[in-house]
Amino acid sequence: MNKLRIGTAGIPLSAEPRSSQAGIKRLAQLGLGCMELEFVRSVRMKEPTAEDVKATAKSEDIELTVHAPYYVNLNSRESDKVSASKKRILKAAKIGWAAGAKSITFHAAFYHDDSEDKVYEVVKRELKEVREQLNEEGNMIHLRPETTGSPTQFGTVEEIVQLAVEIPGVWPCVDFSHLHARSKGAYNTYEEFSNVLKFIEQKLGRQALDNLHMHISGIDYGLKGEKKHLILKESDMNYQGVLQALYDFNVCGWLICESPNLEEDALLLQEYYSKL
């Protein structure tokens, strides 16, 4: 990619009717550049609809990403839940690819009582199988485990970047707000954001920063990490520092706003970024 696109996690609130196609058209009217298809409860979109969404996105110059269902735990004690988790990722990836999405993100696992190293190896094994199946189907959508907002969840920067190092076709999704919440208030300075970007580039090369999938919102957090998303100006999230780091490192890709007011904060982000 040759620019940073900013958009919303799902259909913007001001879109009518409440459809992905209407959401894409509304984002184009607002001058935003991308939208995440939110399959977080389940994947209800069918392939014919996905093809229509792809055509609309292409005509409006809106790029798409996907968020797979929340009900994913590749480290479950129960093998049927691991299998179901992989099926959910695969289904979301299939419909997302049909819709023209270039990247799919998901929360990969919980640690439970296992060591971080053990969970890493389990997640790597299961993700390799998912990637191999997608490759066999000719589906080249980027698989992107996300940095997560709670210390009970697998998903540090180091973990997701190392997965990308070891599995071709896997890349990181950086949720800056999750990093802030997980660390109970750290990861909120320009220097810290810059260090994340430096680390990604060192490990994965410039290509990773040229196609980076990111999330941001205001966020409420406590001793156990993330509580809920907030409007940016009603939180302590240093979005200005994030945007300055993205600008200085010439990061391209998709910055998805997950604030409750969606397009309002996405426009705030785009206005600030455009002045840099």
Q: What is the pLDDT of residues 76-132, one digit of tens each?
A: 999 999 999 999 999 999 999 999 999 999 999 999 999 999 999 999 999 999 999
Identity of residue 267: L
Q: Can you say how many angstroms the Cα of residue 78 is from the centroid of all Cα atoms in its chain? A: 26
C-beta separation of 65 from 95 below 8 A: no
Place of tokens 């935003």: 32
Calpha distance 39→42 (Å, rounded):
5
Question: Which residues of the chain, if any, have pLDDT below 70?
Answer: 1
Query: How much is the pLDDT for 26?
Result: 98
CATH number at residue 265: 3.20.20.150
Query: How much is the pLDDT for 2?
Result: 80
The dihedral through the CA atoms of 224, 227, 231, 233 has a sign that is: negative
Number of domains the chain is built from: 1
- Burial of 169 from C-beta contacts in 10 A (0-12 / 13-18 / 19+): middle
C-beta separation of 214 from 173 below 8 A: yes
Calpha distance 13→137 (Å, rounded):
35
- Domain range for residue 117? 4-275
Calpha distance 91→78 (Å, rounded):
20
